[in-house]
Amino acid sequence: MRLLERMRKDWFMIGIVLAIAGAKLEPSIGVNGGPLKPEITVSYIAVATIFFNSGLSLKTEFADSRLHASACVFCSDFNQGSWWE
């Protein structure tokens, strides 16, 4: 019972150790051009996932105010974009 509680508490650390051990045993999976395609997954998918998770953790009041501010900036930039003509 105590071991199961400890595993539930430290599940992330256990996952990291297992991932490192797997990479040590079979490094060909993560090389460039390998099945995981790290040149794509790390540069695009991982970064997009990090920003998506960060956005999910925002409070709704903050997200609503930022969305309104973004819309105002977009509209003002769009309206002023034709001033040079």
Whole-number pLDDT of residue 13: 95
Confidence (pLDDT) at 70: 54
- What pLDDT, on a 0 to 100 scale, did the predictor assign at position 57? 77
What is residue 29's DSSP assignment? G
Give the pLDDT score at 9.
93
Domain boundaries, the chain: 1-30, 32-61
Tally helices (H) and strands (E) across the chain. 5, 0
- Any residues with CB less than 8 A from the CB of 35 and at least 6 apart, and which? 29
Report pLDDT digits (tens) over 17-66.
999 999 999 999 888 888 888 888 888 888 888 888 887 877 766 555 55
Q: Is the pLDDT of residue 84 over 60?
A: no
Q: Look up the pTM and report it.
A: 0.49
